Chains A and B, each alone.
Chain A
């Protein structure tokens, strides 16, 4: 049996669910909003067992052979927010999220991806050093609380971007003259600066051994936000050199990620930089723009590890 865990409105999760349904494969989509009312038992004595029940849906953990998990922060679910911090529902939601996360980390089932492995993305410098050790170039980076050092770094590299150090989403922006005065504020919290690398952006999705490369043409520094600032972004499916493809696979494998979204840039000089590896990529954005069959590849991966036959029972979403 295949378990999907997250929000039904989440496009990547929804696309994988549609693909599994199209193939008439047995799977269950555990709606995170309803899961706060589930009954969960996790029992570990060397073997990992237990049960998950919600309404008419009941599954033994040992019967799950693969899982695709994209849970959101339970504290931000509307019902949990309404109930308030420390409320019974809040405690229940946190406990269920923690138990399911624990199961994801220890089950012998294939999990795309295990929470422990995804956590590396919580620190960009930590991940950047890892990426560099695996052979990709990484941009010159300074994380500092020293305003003079930040200014000197800017002086040295001329063109510099700043971005969050953690996985907190931030708009990547170039440092401009009018922000010079604000540099003084870095002394309160380590702030990350990177030398700007001019070139062409690529998003590469690695799904098991399958690799999907997308070229991104944008007139903004952060193409993800181009449309909100009047910019234009165009996505094109493309092929990359074997050497780069192999390196992408190697990075995903080293990080124990069955599904990964790598942010690459080929500099004007032809050097390949890797900025980040997203362990829970929103691949639907790229699939919808390019027609690349990423969700199919995820479904393939889940099915490969599944003991179910292709003509298993059709799912019910709970």
Chain B
């Protein structure tokens, strides 16, 4: 079984789940956490189960891979909860998922971190620091308050997507390899990195994102392979 954990309105998550239906892929949304049947034990004997919905409760051991596209549970994801309780419940569900995801021994992509359910959800400045540490050419980033009103000129970005140990993108081997290094350094299994090409045709790193668009079916297949890997 593959679990895709995402918000109800995440079209990519629905598409991936549908694509992997042959692998018994199911979508887990925040509303799934209001279904009877979750049992998560620490230092305690007993069943470890999860509830797909009110009709289907499965053993945690049946899960082979988990792909998380949810940074945290939002109040707006909780239509089933009374409005006055949504802030608290969103915080509790996020905390629950963080602990539960970290307890899994199967493939979890991306592994939950202290600050995010879906991996290293870093601010732009931290990605630039990490890339610079790896010796990548980086475009400086700055933020100000009050913020300047000048907008950035439209740029065309070159994307390199890392899935597990593979990278995808129309770039030289060396650039793909540095994207892979950045993913390893940040402990991300899925990472989309962005570059701009300057006048000398060199690529400069500008940022990274944990949630690729999956426009290329090869990405989807690579992710499936990663989730089902022994």
Chain A residues packing against B (C-beta within 8 Å): 38-46, 48, 50, 92, 95-96, 98-99, 101-103, 105-106, 115-120, 122-126, 128-129, 132, 137-147, 149, 152-153, 164-168, 187-191, 195
B62 within 8 A of A: no
> Which parts of B108-147 form the interface with A (CB within 8 Å)?
112-115, 122-123, 125-126, 128-129, 132-133, 138, 140-147
A145 in contact with B38 given A105-B123, A125-B99, A168-B92 (CB within 8 Å): yes
Residue of B nearest to A124 (CB): B95
The 6 lowest CB-CB distance pairs between A and B, nearest first, are A125-B99, A46-B132, A45-B140, A166-B95, A140-B44, A123-B95
A45 & B40 in contact (Cβ 8 Å cutoff): no
Give Cα distance in the complex from A125 to B104, angstroms: 13
Give Cα distance in the complex from A146 to B132, angstroms: 48
B222 within 8 A of A: no
A46 in contact with B128 given A126-B98, A149-B47, A190-B93 (CB within 8 Å): yes
Residue of B nearest to A98 (CB): B123
Give Cα distance in the complex from A39 to B143, angstroms: 11
Q: Mark B72-112, 1 if CB is under 8 A from A, else 0.
A: 00000000110000001101111110111011000000001
Give Cα distance in the complex from A109 to B40, angstroms: 39
Give Cα distance in the complex from A102 to B98, angstroms: 22
Q: A38, A140, A190: which contacts B43 (Cβ < 8 A)? A: A140
B181 within 8 A of A: no
B197 within 8 A of A: no
A145 in contact with B33 given A42-B142, A166-B95 (CB within 8 Å): yes
A129 in contact with B145 given A116-B115, A123-B99 (CB within 8 Å): no
Give Cα distance in the complex from A92 to B145, angstroms: 7
* B44, B46, B138, B140 interface centre (most CB from chain A within 10 Å): B44
| Distance to closest chain B CB from A286 (angstroms) | 25
Residue of B nearest to A165 (CB): B95
Residue of A nearest to B98 (CB): A123
Q: B99, B141, B147: which contacts A128 (Cβ < 8 A)? A: B99
Residues of chain A contacted by B18 (CB below 8 angstroms): none
Residues of chain A contacted by B41 (CB below 8 angstroms): 140-143
Residue of A nearest to B40 (CB): A143
Residues of chain A contacted by B93 (CB below 8 angstroms): 189-190
Main secondary structure of the interface of B (DSSP, over half): mixed
A126 & B129 in contact (Cβ 8 Å cutoff): no
Residues of chain B contacted by A117 (CB below 8 angstroms): 114
A143 in contact with B34 given A46-B128, A50-B142 (CB within 8 Å): no
Residue of A nearest to B127 (CB): A44
Give Cα distance in the complex from A81 to B1, angstroms: 46
> Which parts of B204-225 form the interface with A (CB within 8 Å)?
none
B92 & A46 in contact (Cβ 8 Å cutoff): no
Residues of chain B contacted by A118 (CB below 8 angstroms): 114
B40 & A142 in contact (Cβ 8 Å cutoff): yes
Residues of chain A contacted by B33 (CB below 8 angstroms): 145, 189-190
| Distance to closest chain B CB from A308 (angstroms) | 25
B99 & A124 in contact (Cβ 8 Å cutoff): yes
Give Cα distance in the complex from A96 to B138, angstroms: 24
Residues of chain A contacted by B37 (CB below 8 angstroms): 145-146
Residues of chain A contacted by B133 (CB below 8 angstroms): 46
Residues of chain B contacted by A120 (CB below 8 angstroms): 114
A44 & B142 in contact (Cβ 8 Å cutoff): yes
Q: A44, A137, A166: which contacts B140 (Cβ < 8 A)? A: A44
Give Cα distance in the complex from A187 to B89, angstroms: 12
Q: Mark B44-57, 1 if CB is under 8 A from A, else 0.
A: 10110101000000
Residue of A nearest to B128 (CB): A44
A143 & B142 in contact (Cβ 8 Å cutoff): no
Q: B95, B128, B145: which contacts A96 (Cβ < 8 A)? A: B145
* A42, A123, A132, A153 interface centre (most CB from chain B within 10 Å): A123
Residues of chain B contacted by A42 (CB below 8 angstroms): 125, 142-144
| Distance to closest chain B CB from A10 (angstroms) | 22
12 pairs, A vs B, C-beta closer than 8 Å = A39-B145, A44-B142, A106-B125, A125-B96, A125-B100, A126-B102, A128-B42, A129-B103, A132-B43, A164-B92, A188-B81, A190-B40
